[in-house]
Amino acid sequence: LGIHAVQIARLYGAKVFVVDMDPRALDLAKKLGADETLEPVEAPEALRELTKGIGVDVVLEIVGIPETLNWSLPSLKRGGRLILVGYAPGRPFPLDIMAMHFHEWEIIGSRFVTKPELMEAINLIEEGKIKPVVTKTFPFEQANEALEALRNKATLGRIVLTF
């Protein structure tokens, strides 16, 4: 999701900063148009510096684990938006309500895509404006191996099963 979000954000004119622990993901994000790539430990300070002390307008949070809040919320500008796309079932997602109130942050959950949004994504792919990132293909008979590759984060991008 995140790697495709980089392309879409760039297409619509956003300045894109990508934060990830995996150097492979950072390299891929840079190749696909990210303006800057950062590791989580340096993100809040670096993002403040890159935005001249203001903070970013939006954080698109793809992972959904508590650790990501350590860099994402402090990186937002006053009135910035945290959009939650990913989540980790059974893991708490602690929020500092006072900081949210003081900084006027908006937190938005995003669960599914609408049919018009899906059609727009398909059109962008057909027009060559975004590239689907498929890094591994498995025959259907190896679906269990494909799931294992996903579980072990052995691949970036998408895995495709062929029939």
Instruction: Tell me what pLDDT residue 110 has.
Output: 87
Residue 81 forms beta bridges with which residues? Answer: 58, 106
Instruction: Tell me what pLDDT residue 68 has.
Output: 86
Determine the 3-state secondary structure of 23 from DSSP.
helix
pLDDT of 162 above 80: yes
pLDDT class for 135, splitting at 50, 70, 90? confident
Find the distance separating the first CA and the last CA of the chain, reported in whole Å.
24
pLDDT tens digits, 25-42: 999 999 999 999 999 999
pLDDT, average across residues 105-113: 88
Q: Please give the single-letter amino acid code of residue 75.
A: S
Spatial neighbors of 130 by CB under 8 A, at least 6 apart, are: 4, 7, 8, 11, 121, 124
Single pTM value for the model: 0.84
Can you tell me the distance from the alpha carbon of 108 to that of 1, in angstroms, rounded to the nearest whole number?
17
Q: Which CATH number fits domain 2-131: 3.90.180.10, 1.10.1760.20, 3.20.20.150, 3.40.50.300?
A: 3.90.180.10
Domain ranges of the chain: 2-131, 133-163
Spatial neighbors of 146 by CB under 8 A, at least 6 apart, are: 136, 138, 159, 161
Instruction: Tell me what pLDDT residue 143 has.
Output: 94
